[in-house]
Chain A
Amino acid sequence: MKLSVMLGTKFRYNPENLRYERVKISFFNMLIAFISYLTFGVLFFAGLLLLQNYIIETPSEKQLRAENESLRQHKLVLAGQLWQSNDQLEELKKQDRDLYEKLFETKLPKDGNHSAVNREEILLASSGDFNKTIIDLNARYKDLYASAQSSNQFFHARASVKKEDLSTLFSIPSIVPVESFDLTKLVSGFGTRINPFHKGHYHHDGVDIASARGTAVLASGHGQVIMTKRSDLLAGFGNYVEVDHGNGVVTRYSHLEDVAVRIGQKIKKGHALGTVGSSGGSIAPHLHYEVIKNGTNQDPITFFAEGLNAGQYQELVSKSKKQNQSLD
């Protein structure tokens, strides 16, 4: 009994058998007690957590908060700047177009305006998918490029040339006759073009390759210089050079600034004949290049075989077909 007293054992009066009965602590009671402790414990935990959050500011939190604040503020400023820049860029693109069309008297194809800035994109901020597409496309492009390269090598290794044919091969005017040529430099092709002076259509007997004054003009194949002429006249070919490549093929290089070869000189493919200029009836520094076979002018593009891959050649052909304004 003493033990029960000490433990504060509780009794209950049972009126049915008129006896005091010991009150048993049931499992249910314990569970209730446990749950209530736990509930209050969780409540205290939550309260303390919030209190702690409210009172204590850790250094890293402080730093993050400040960074976020500035990120948020500057984002607005920068987005504003970006949109403004984009508007300016679009305006410049329009001007660029106008200038081009005016300069070459030709309409540019509408190429679905790709604005650099998509105003929704900043808000959406889901760039992952887009990136993935680009990476995939790039990979596919690389594969294609590699396979094209290897097939090139395949044919290169198998096409055989006899030794006596070599001189003929080398004398074919097959390279683009200006130094550091790129596709953007071909500005007008062979065929009916607009004359820059009177704006009428006429037959343009060669191709115009726009290049900076002083760019070297190269012989397109082995041959012999059969004509050099200097002329101050603001009409015609200006200073020009003609090279005979044998087999009835002659090339003419017009509107030169300087002529660096003399008549009768034997030259190799790639030899510098002079420099690009705007002499004669020309509106801009460029090389007017003609290929004449048996007295008839040919489309020089069809002779360009070296230094260009298939894609570049295709682009060159399509560029040369545009009926724009020529430079002479």
Chain B
Amino acid sequence: MAKIRYTYNSETCKYEPVIVSPKAAGRKILAFLGISFVIGLIGLVYFNSKFPYLDETIQAGENQKLKTEWQVILKQLDRTSQQLSKLEQNDDHNYRVILDLEPLDITQREAGVGGRAKESSFINNPLIKTAYEQSEKIKNRLDIEAQSMKQLKEELERKEKMWASRPAIQPVSNKDLTHLHTIFGLRVHPLLGYVRPHNGLDFTAPIGSPIYATGDGRVMNAQLSASYGNVIYLDHGFGFETRYAHMTHYIVSAGQSVKRGQIIGYVGNTGLSVAAHLHYEVLYKNTPINPINFFQRDLNNKEYEKLIELGSRSVSSLD
């Protein structure tokens, strides 16, 4: 049973049932909603006065997170730059000093190779701009450093070749050597009987003892000469030349490339010679120099044999 409400009608002095018309009900609901709306509105005004806009808060939070991530990027850029600096310093202060090359300066390094579009110039945000600028600098420096490394590698390869071709070992092993005559310069020739410069050193050793090339090079000439007997002329490049005289026979021919430690012939007594020995000459820019400077006498047999073996292998390249 619906609850019927009554009102007291003072004119008729009767209780009359209240009839709620749909219109009245609608008004009531509207009023309710209106008041609620006003409450909501007041709430909103209050909220706006106290807090920033919702979207703003969300965006600010996002911003915070992104900026933290950017800090990490900046830090990593920094670390990359630092590690790169270490390489550059190593390059400038170690390799370039040792390889006798001029160091590169920082402006040269940061300038880069050119032709790259600069992304940083279109950006206003300082954080992004800084990061791009740093990244660009690093990229330039990396390119320069890569080029520099390439140059160093090439230079080292060139120098390795130079070092390998420098006469640096004894042409006869200590195992076979019975005597080393260290006379260099003017002396009375034992056969000719008059003073004649002796432009090399004599290694006395039994006939047939192997003779080793003392540095990498090319056989310029291998021939039988009246005074030198069977003789080999090696061109080592970079101004150096060596001669090996009085061999019983040689086993290389003109134009052939030889490695240090390679057997080129055998000790003999050919030409103007009184006993089995190797006459060894070193020339720099066509001037004979004392070969004693171009080998190590304290090198023991085992070391020497290792060198001989080393020479018979091909030179490893840098890549």
A residues in contact (CB < 8 Å) with B: 1-2, 4-5, 8-13, 20, 23, 36-49, 52-53, 56-58, 60-61, 64-65, 67-68, 70-72, 74-75, 77-79, 81-82, 85-86, 88-89, 91-93, 95-96, 98-100, 102-103, 114, 116-118, 121-123, 125, 127, 182, 184-185, 187, 195-203, 210-213, 233-236, 278, 281, 283-286, 327
On chain B, the residues within 8 Å of A65 by CB distance are: 55, 59
Determine if B6 and A71 form an interchain contact, defined as CB atoms under 8 angstroms apart: no
Closest to B132 in A: A78
Determine if B163 and A67 form an interchain contact, defined as CB atoms under 8 angstroms apart: no
Closest to B90 in A: A96
Cα-based distance from A20 to B39 in the complex (angstroms) = 37
Cα-based distance from A116 to B53 in the complex (angstroms) = 40
On chain B, the residues within 8 Å of A99 by CB distance are: 95, 149, 152-153, 156, 318
A92 with B142, Cβ < 8 A, contacts A20-B6, A44-B41, A187-B98 known? yes
Closest to A44 in B: B40
On chain B, the residues within 8 Å of A118 by CB distance are: 76
A-B contacts, CB under 8 A, total: 277
On chain B, the residues within 8 Å of A53 by CB distance are: 53-55
On chain B, the residues within 8 Å of A91 by CB distance are: 146
B residues in contact (CB < 8 Å) with A: 3-10, 15, 18, 32-33, 35-37, 39-41, 43-44, 47-48, 52-56, 59-60, 62-63, 65-73, 75-77, 79-80, 82-84, 87, 89-91, 93-95, 97-100, 103, 119, 123, 125, 127-128, 131-132, 135, 138-139, 142, 145-146, 149, 152-153, 156, 159-160, 163-164, 166, 168-169, 215, 260, 284, 289, 293-296, 298-299, 303-304, 306-307, 310, 318
Can you list 26 A-B contacts with CB-CB less than 8 angstroms, sorted by A residue number?
Answer: A4-B8, A12-B3, A20-B6, A20-B8, A47-B40, A58-B55, A64-B60, A64-B63, A67-B63, A75-B70, A81-B135, A92-B87, A93-B83, A96-B149, A99-B153, A100-B94, A102-B160, A116-B76, A116-B82, A117-B80, A125-B69, A125-B72, A202-B296, A202-B303, A233-B289, A234-B284
On chain A, the residues within 8 Å of B145 by CB distance are: 92
A41 with B39, Cβ < 8 A, contacts A78-B73, A127-B71 known? yes
Tell me the minimal C-beta distance from B267 to chain A in angstroms: 21
Cα-based distance from A47 to B40 in the complex (angstroms) = 9
Closest to A57 in B: B55
Cα-based distance from A290 to B63 in the complex (angstroms) = 64
Determine if A122 and B69 form an interchain contact, defined as CB atoms under 8 angstroms apart: yes
Determine if A5 and B7 form an interchain contact, defined as CB atoms under 8 angstroms apart: yes
Cβ-neighbour of A40 out of B36, B98, B168, B294 (below 8 A): B36
Cβ-neighbour of B80 out of A89, A182, A211 (below 8 A): A89
Cβ-neighbour of A198 out of B18, B69, B168 (below 8 A): B168
Cα-based distance from A233 to B290 in the complex (angstroms) = 9
